[in-house]
Chain A
Amino acid sequence: MKFTCLSKGSGFHFPPCHMLNFCGIRILFDCPLDLSGLMAFSPIPTSLDALLFEESNNNEKRHKIEDLLDAKSLIFAEPWYKTVNNLHLWNASLIDVILISSPMGIMGLPFLTRRKGLSAKIYVTEASARLGQLMMEDLVSMHAEFRQFYGPEESNFPPWLRQEELEILPSVLKDILLGKDGVESGGWTPMYSAADVKDCILKIDTVNYAQEVCYNGTLVIKAFSCGVEIGSCNWILDGPKGDIAYLSSSCFFSAHTMTFDYRSLQGTSSLIYSDFSSLSDAQDIEDGDNNSDPTSDTLLPLSFQDMDESSLNSDENLEEKEKLVFICSCAIECVKDGGSVLIPINRLGTILQLLEEMTTSLEASAMEVPIYIISSVAEELLALLNIIPEWLCKQRQERLFAGEPLFAHVKLQKEKKIHVVPNIHSHQLLMNWQEPCIVFCPHWSLRIGPVVHLLRRWCGDPKSLLILEDIVNPELALLPFKPVAMKVLQCLFPSGIGLQKVQPLLKTLQPKTVMFPEDLRLKTSFSCEKSFSVSYYTEAEPLKVSCQKDSSELKIAADLASQFYWKTFKKEGINVTRLKGNLLMENGRHHLLLDNNKKTSESNSSLVRCGLADYNKLLPALSEMGINASIEIVKDDVESQNVCLVHTKEPYKALIEIGNTSTVITTADANVASILYKAIDNILDGV
């Protein structure tokens, strides 16, 4: 088994990407897109910006002004997109299976599916595929605005990727374009088209949670909910050589999607730990959540079974609820002052909860403020959310059983409390537009989508409020809109396994070997009493882990087994039999079934014989058959072995030469040979 981490990703929108060679099958986990790369580009320029842009272009000699970053230093061109660079080193046609663990992990898939020669089976949960499709369609439609503005691209190689252009870029942008090591420029590709997305979706095989799918008869693949986003999942791969669990970012609590089903991951022999979320959490100083609170300290030595499930979840639940309430109170405060609230958040769970919380708070404070949701796919997305109860958390499912809509937005839409429009200049929006208001719209990078136009409108208004997602560099995100007078609130929601929970979780899952990220090595110290071995992996370095079993399981049908003719070897108490049947590979297991085909049951002679041909036994055996024989012992000079010669005279004439490892029959008659052969066969241990 060989495991290579292609990218450890960053944050919720850019999940990790790995390659695994298991049972001779090459498996790619996820195909994400690093959309934070968009921040190197300028949003669609306004007429004023366009002037500046012209100016800077005319002003031929741009100088490298170290670290003096302003809106003009951004790239004014149709953006390209940053894929996982290391993935390009692989020949796509050699990938056998692609497993997509979340809607975010599908975003880069059209780049792969449009390549020639890709023949991999692609498994995605049905919900991830549908959400992912909507997200990709939205991205394509948002990108279309750029294409309209800049017109068709002139060359295949964009000028901004040229070495001399890169040289004069501020270091922040250079880091984005080339990566920290300066080698990632190969990962940039131009946007895919709507047709590519459609084509990609057609190539996908969708699965439900806990559905068994079998690749090539060899590998049984199952997805289990991980609680981060609707449809997101962890995987279990079960092959003839053992099983392996792939643990992506997982949440023990969720207010919208089905929660982390860790019980189903129990007992696999290996486990790939691929939750990097605690990496970014811990780096963030503002986030005080990781300061270990007394309750979590006491949890450490326990395994999950010992704990009350509700106590485990309630902490996170409460924390998240508090944050939501806080955000909503800020928003209400803001609209009371006459400012508008702009929420460019793309995390579905956060949007849905904010929407519900926001409307109840508005109602409570008796305010009539319109809420707009602006996105080309919003209407379809909201409709979709209400028909997928199987993918949602317990509380939402209870609503189904009670006959209520799964999410409050259905009712709110009917009551015209929220307005869902496809884009900023849609007729419906212009007719209803009213300020102050609360707007949910993409995209979190603040470079594409309706957010750009609304941010330009409100960024100078100190009464308005911008609620940002957990962005690594908010300074850079807001750069094109400077000076920003509006209030900015950045909110962080956990999207993975908290560091304190890693150890009790692994203890509960009881794998034998764990592949763990090197980056988290220092943050988690596995206690010495751990029951599993740990191998640490780093980005782009293959890690070899030995398979647990050196043989595979084979099942023999009982009706066949009853026909076996057993032979016992005296010395070692071993029973041996020859096998005859049809070998079949199904669901990762070998089966041997009864074969009724006469054709194959021809040869009856022994396969292998062993032991010594004892001449003391041979003589009586021969005489029983009426053959007289005499013995002559000769010393072989060359091999210094004793060779025994048996001469038979009556009724046949033959010479049998018996050595330690071989016996030779010499005779003129083939019939005689076969008779003697049988006699010798009988005294040897044959199978």
Chain B
Amino acid sequence: MAPPAAHRSGSNKRAQLGLFAGYVVAGSGALIGAVLLIISLVSPQTFQGLRSMASDLAAPAGQAGAVGRTQGRSFFEAIAGYYDAGSKNAELEREIEIARVRLAEAEALRQENERLKGVLNLASGETEPVAVARLIGSTSASTRRFAYLSAGREDGVANGMPVTSPMGLVGRVLEAGANSSRVLLLTDSESLVPVRRATDDVVAFAEGRADGSLRIRLINLGINPLEEGDIFVTSGAGGMFRPGVAVGMITEITPDGGIAQLLSNPAATDVVIVEPIWQQPILDGIEEVDVGDAVD
């Protein structure tokens, strides 16, 4: 379509000025954007309040969608059940899959227990979940991998809390809003989780790759002991994630570790559990010591 007449200012002084002012306003808009971008790149948490307010506003719609997704799926599953006996198998297979992960986790727990009991003589009870919520959306158009969770500060969710599903670790809360929060998924390239092999004590870092898989980086370099099919669980190092939660399964071996597929695919999870930070008192203690050092 042809441009409107406003574009052809000709010798009309007023039109020329208007056109010029338009460019100035648009240019300063872009400049403000650049400044804001630099600020948010330097300190990513600056605009947390603004963003959580926005996601709080849109959360009800997202929640309705998430419920619809679950119900829609079960509706179609029910129909499929009449036509395809195999779909009943699918449910069983899913349970077996969970059981298999559980088995690996149990093995890891047993080892953990043995070690703790042997070395520290400590007993820790089951962690009480902070909240049970749904994942209501994700930043599916950006290279960053965030998800939106339908629980916030009002449900007791705080920044840094791990988010798990029955299949394993999903991520951790990055920004908690009033009734929704933003979760950093494991596959985000800024996500780093200390893990160990479920069967022994090969420790590594699970680093997100933007394409939905994890990169397992061994801490002790040398001969790569990994094999395809190895399951990695959280090691508890760092104090944020409790040990023994399933993270990923190795599908490819690289010189310094491997590529792992997520065990708990966030796309297939309906309900997730927000857990408290594993060693909150110790983490707080460390921070206090740091502050103390800074004051000294």
A in complex with B:
no
Residues of B within 8 A of A (CB): none
- A residues sitting closer than 8 Å to B (CB atoms) are none
